[in-house]
Amino acid sequence: MIFVTGGTGLVGSHVLLNLAQKGEQFKALKREYSSLEVCKNIFAHYKELDLFDKINWVNGDVSDIPSLTEAMQDCEQLIHCAAIVSFYASDADLLRKVNIEGTANVMDVAIASGIKKAGFVSSIAALGRNSTEGMVDEECHFKITKHDSNYSLSKYYAEQEVWRASQEGLEVVIINPSVILGPGDWTKGSSQIFQKIYKGLKFYTSGSTGYVDVVDVADSLIELLFSEVKNERFIVNGANLKFRDCFDSIAVALGKPKATIKATPFLKEIAWRVDAVRAFITATKPLLTKETANSAMKSNTYSTKKIEAMLGYQFTDMDATIKKYANWFIADLK
């Protein structure tokens, strides 16, 4: 039996879909009043609603140790996907509570419950990308810099909890996905890239980063969990692309105009401040923060040689990924 956290989110939903398609036995943790719509819609896109209806949901929370203890009974493996992704300064405490303390709780209960192996979804944000020149790989260890976001710090310290658990006898595998493209909630996380471009994104930046299909994130994690590999981490990244090239491809797939205005460092500083004022006046969260504006100006590339060599893993073509999810976004508008 496999215990899965974060099953109502983008990555977790694809993990559940993959396990269900394989006929694996699993439990999926959810908070009592969590919406299942994202997960249900993902299963619907793959025409697997019959499998969605068979999911064994259990109520609990990564902050509630007794609920984790009860839910993890009779399980031998763990996939920990639950996390908060936020670049708002106001969410610093929430990031610490869910991403760091929640991961510590999950690892502690896993050890106490006799879980044999755990797979953890980390992020490229937990790698030393801000203190590394050139290609980033798994050996680029994290060094705190002024450029690291609260989210980056939370994922780094969450990883430390997983490594700590490995020292206490739990076998672990960690994946560090790049920017994940997939059909989750189109108004949140990386999925909102499609929505913003559909609505008419006018600016582009000179930066670059890695992108990966959410299917590859789920597939690679499950393959690692079922493998003999232990106590290793792997970058999962489908392609290294300039922001402009990725956004142009999405715009074309959506039938929308490409961005035509280059965001200079000066414009970037104005933009996030203007949006902060707009958000204050309208009592909403800003669409652009200082952290996201700064990251859009950086250029990072990520190596996948390790997972390709160890598993022979081949990532989905990024053009195919973009076209697929652009079509799904348009279909969801109807």
Tokens of 277: 């004022």
Residue that the structure tokens 């009779």 belong to: 74
Task: Count the domains in the chain.
Answer: 1
Tell me whether residue 277 is in a domain: no
Tell me whether residue 49 is in a domain: yes
Phi-psi region for residue 315, left (φ > 0), alpha (ψ -120 to 50) or beta? beta
The vertex-142 CA angle with 231 and 308, nearest 5°, equals: 50
Tell me whether residue 290 is in a domain: no
Q: Name the band, by pLDDT with cuts 50, 70 and 90, for residue 287.
A: low
Strand 208-213 with 239-242, pairing = antiparallel
Neighbour tally for 239: CB within 10 Å: 22
- Cα distance between residue 129 and residue 144, in whole Å: 10
* Full residue range of the structural domain in which residue 76 is found: 2-181+210-238
Tell me whether residue 272 is in a domain: no
The amino acid that residue 125 corresponds to is: A
Tell me whether residue 138 is in a domain: yes
Tell me whether residue 20 is in a domain: yes
Residues above pLDDT 90, as percent of the chain: 64
Tell me whether residue 306 is in a domain: no
Tell me whether residue 256 is in a domain: no
Q: Does the pLDDT at position 205 exceed 50? A: yes
| 102 closest CA partner among 198, 5, 185, 221 | 5
pTM over 0.85: yes
| Tens digits of residue pLDDT in 136-155 | 999 888 777 767 788 889 99
The CATH number linked to 67 is 3.40.50.720
